[in-house]
Structure 1
Amino acid sequence: MVANLMKFFLLKYLAKQLTSQAEMLKKVLKDNQEHFLVVFSQASECLQVVIGMEVKELDPGEHTYIMVPTLGLTCDEMLSSGQSLPKASLLVLVLSLIMQNEDLAPEEAVLGALSRMGVYVGSVYCVFGEPRELLTQVWVQEGYPEPWYLVG
């Protein structure tokens, strides 16, 4: 649920849209609405720690929220064509996939998910370079958990 809410927030951010508690309950939590406060808190904390984005409540009466950059980190670096994800958002998506698979996901599953989003192994992207190298070398050197997403 936390990973799904993180993805939801990122999609809203990339679309430059606000969201509401009602929309989160309806589209993300569905039959698990009693867990909203815990899931919302954990997703918000993960977004802030991992990509430097804070979920801010704009209107307490309407419970509307927006994501804003914190710590001077940029999440807005897009290719000029607008067809690529920022490096930080890509990381969140990969980590979400890993979390959904109980902290382990086969390399091919991660790379397959990225290819379904239009991020292909062997292609070089100006924002983050070549995806396999980013996953297996760059992020590991930056201190992300090892063995990471690689399973057997």
Structure 2
Amino acid sequence: MPRGQKSKLHAREICHQTEGETRDLQSVQAPAMKEKSSLLPTSPYVGVTTRTKSACRLQSTSKVPQRAFSTSESKCVSPTRSYKGGNYRNKRKQDSSKASSSTMKPPRSSLIGTVRVVVKYMMQMYKMKKPILKADVLKVITKEHRKRFFEILKKASFNIEVVFGVDLKEVDSIKHSYTLVSKMNLPNNGTVTRGRGLPKTGLLMNLLGVIFLKGNCASEEKIWEFLNKMKIYDGKKHFIFGEPRKLITQDLVKLKYLEYRQVPNSHPASYEFRWGPRSHAETSKMRILEFWAKINHTVPSAFQSRYDEALRDEEERAGAAGILSDTLIHGS
């Protein structure tokens, strides 16, 4: 087999390897243009976030609609009323199945399907710690969409950033080589547990955003309200994030990204979440606001109640860095 065909076949095989692990990724919707309707908007993006009512309540002083990770279920198209009895029910079931199938699994030949394939390919390269080459990405894109490479790359990059908390960076402009860099330093390329699952950085950054917007402390009840809007439920394994309670109350706590503790003098016992020391070290309040602003297609200053606090935090960090630098240069 010629070398070019072998390379193309290998690229396709890489995509198929991720099918089982990310087969439900299409159920996560992306941000759409702001709408007056309170319903969850649909979008051509794959694996991103949508606006939810609970996210809007996180910051009562801000009028900017906010989105959170969401896995919204597709609504099937209703059949016409000309069908009656058994025929009506059979027709409705068939139409429902067809509508659901076409909505949840757009053909690879569509732009949505192409973006999905590219997302899967990139995440596989990320897990394998391998560079992403334009030439290889083009091999998994259908011929009719190859001329839209940079548009597809931009959409795939946005999806990966918002869902997984990973940035696409170009490392070689001549060879068009890219790499994926995690926004935080979670172990095992963000998977937390070696060799298992997909990066959890995006979820962590969303949780840090909830905690910050709730006044740097969020009750366990509010955290679960937020997660439920993302279709993440206590005791139910999620296709990206695994068993959520273990992840947020044990794994991320043990890694010192979150603090989970009982509220003093609470009867019956209630619990709350705060930022852990590693979150303070690896990110900042402004970076979290920027992350949320990007999801909402707005600017950090739109989060009025917390923007000033984030600015003060940046100034304090800069001042502390300056003092440390002077100490290292001149000695104490």
Provide the TM-score with structure 2 as the length reference: 0.26
Q: Return the match for 2:142 from 30, 36, 46.
A: 30
Whether the 8 Å CA contact 1:55–1:65 is kept in 2: the answer is: yes
Q: RMSD of the alignment, in Å?
A: 3.1
* 1:20 and 2:163 aligned: no
Cα distance between partner residues in 1 of 2:199 and 2:179: 20
* 1:129 and 2:129 aligned: no
CA deviation map 1:108-132 (0-9, x unaligned)? xxxxxxxxxxxxxx889xx7227xx
Deviation of 1:36 after TM superposition, in Å, equals 0.7
Q: Return the match for 1:54 from 151, 157, 167.
A: 167
Structure 1 unpaired stretches of 5+: 92-121, 131-152
Whether the 8 Å CA contact 1:2–1:43 is kept in 2: the answer is: yes
Whether the 8 Å CA contact 1:51–1:73 is kept in 2: the answer is: no
Cα distance between partner residues in 1 of 2:119 and 2:129: 15
Cα distance between partner residues in 2 of 1:7 and 1:43: 9
Structure 2 unpaired stretches of 5+: 1-113, 204-235, 245-332
Q: Return the match for 1:42 from 146, 149, 155.
A: 155
1:96 maps to which residue? none
Cα distance between partner residues in 2 of 1:47 and 1:6: 7
Q: Return the match for 1:86 from 198, 208, 222.
A: 198
Deviation of 1:86 after TM superposition, in Å, equals 3.1
Aligned amino acid, residue 77 of structure 1: T
Whether the 8 Å CA contact 1:86–1:128 is kept in 2: the answer is: no
Deviation of 1:17 after TM superposition, in Å, equals 0.3
CA deviation map 1:58-96 (0-9, x unaligned)? 0001100100012x263523434x2x213539x9xxxxx
Report sequence identity in percent: 23
2:322 maps to which residue? none
Structure with the bigger RCO (C-alpha within 8 Å, sep 6+) is: 1
Provide the TM-score with structure 1 as the length reference: 0.53
Which one has the largest radius of gyration?
Answer: 2
Whether the 8 Å CA contact 2:116–2:156 is kept in 1: the answer is: yes
Number of equivalenced pairs: 96
Question: Relative to structure 1, is the Cα distance of residues 53 and 73 closer, same or farther in structure 2, using a 3 angstrom cutoff?
Answer: same
Question: Relative to structure 1, is the Cα distance of residues 57 and 123 closer, same or farther in structure 2, using a 3 angstrom cutoff?
Answer: closer
Question: Relative to structure 1, is the Cα distance of residues 64 and 7 closer, same or farther in structure 2, using a 3 angstrom cutoff?
Answer: same
Cα distance between partner residues in 1 of 2:237 and 2:167: 31
Whether the 8 Å CA contact 1:57–1:65 is kept in 2: the answer is: yes
Cα distance between partner residues in 1 of 2:185 and 2:158: 15
Deviation of 1:50 after TM superposition, in Å, equals 1.5
Cα distance between partner residues in 1 of 2:237 and 2:170: 38
Whether the 8 Å CA contact 2:164–2:199 is kept in 1: the answer is: no
